[in-house]
């Protein structure tokens, strides 16, 4: 018969869990902070984070019209490959990428990973952080992160969120990280 004893008093004190087995005794000691870390670290990486990491890693790559890698990228080719890396299939052309999603995102609701479209859906970028996007701008330029400026705002055509579940999950993860470590109760089983 296994015995499990768990003891703790506060987030800064240790928890001791003991569970004797026929072959050996095991002791595990966890603080409230370690329990919290385990809760956060078990969550999978959202697709938008994988896509964003890919797109950001391509900064400095030349713009190539029709490019989807190897020699360079155009704007929609970069988004195609970035979300493809995350397991989400996008159409090839910017306007089709916008049309592929029924839920549209307002400028005020943009989050990292959202695809933002400009100039009558002729250009697309990915929100990298509040007020910025990563994109492949035009011939003669390179993939880069740039501000979502007033000029961009004036040519904004719309936005979509290819990974809505991942964004919700990430918001929950951020809230969990901000909450204090759990107070550890005393229990013996």
Structural domain boundaries of the chain? 1-33, 47-163
pLDDT confidence of residue 121: 97
Among the listed residues 138, 156, 11, 13, the one whose alpha carbon sits nearest the alpha carbon of residue 76: 138
With beta carbons less than 8 A apart as the criterion, state whether 28 and 20 touch: no
The two structure tokens encoding residue 132? 């910025």
How would you classify residue 72: left for phi > 0, otherwise alpha for psi between -120 and 50, otherwise beta?
left
Helix (H), strand (E) at residue 172: helix 164-178
Contact (Cβ atoms closer than 8 angstroms) between residue 81 and residue 69: yes
Q: Which fold has domain 47-163?
A: endopeptidase fold (from Nostoc punctiforme) (3.90.1720)
Say what the pLDDT of residue 166 is: 77
Q: pLDDT tens track of the chain, all 189 residues?
A: 444 444 444 444 444 444 444 455 566 776 767 666 666 666 788 999 999 999 999 999 999 999 999 899 999 999 999 999 999 999 999 999 999 999 999 999 999 999 999 999 999 999 999 999 999 999 999 999 999 999 999 999 999 999 888 777 767 777 776 777 777 665 544
Predicted pLDDT at 95: 97
What pLDDT is attached to residue 18? Answer: 45
pTM: 0.72
**Quick one: pLDDT at residue 159?**
98
Residue 19 has, within 13 A of its CA and on its CB side, a CA count of 5
């Amino acid at each position: 018969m296994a015995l499990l004893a768990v003891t703790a008093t506060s987030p800064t004190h240790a928890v001791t869990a003991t569970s004797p087995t026929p072959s050996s005794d095991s002791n595990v000691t966890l603080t409230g902070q370690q329990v919290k870390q385990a809760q956060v670290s078990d969550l999978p990486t959202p697709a938008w984070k994988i896509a964003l990491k890919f797109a950001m890693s391509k900064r400095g790559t030349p713009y190539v019209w029709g490019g989807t890698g190897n020699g360079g990228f155009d704007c929609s080719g970069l988004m195609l490959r970035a979300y493809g890396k995350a397991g989400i299939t996008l159409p090839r052309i910017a306007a089709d990428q916008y049309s592929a999603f029924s839920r549209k995102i307002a400028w005020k609701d943009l989050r990292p990973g959202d695809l933002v479209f400009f100039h009558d859906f002729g250009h697309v970028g990915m929100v990298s952080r509040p007020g910025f996007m990563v994109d492949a701008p035009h011939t003669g330029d390179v993939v880069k992160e740039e501000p979502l400026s007033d000029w961009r705002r004036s040519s904004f055509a719309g936005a979509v969120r290819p990974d809505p579940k991942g964004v919700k999950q990430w918001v929950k993860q951020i809230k969990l990280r901000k909450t204090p470590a759990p107070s550890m109760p005393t229990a013996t089983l």
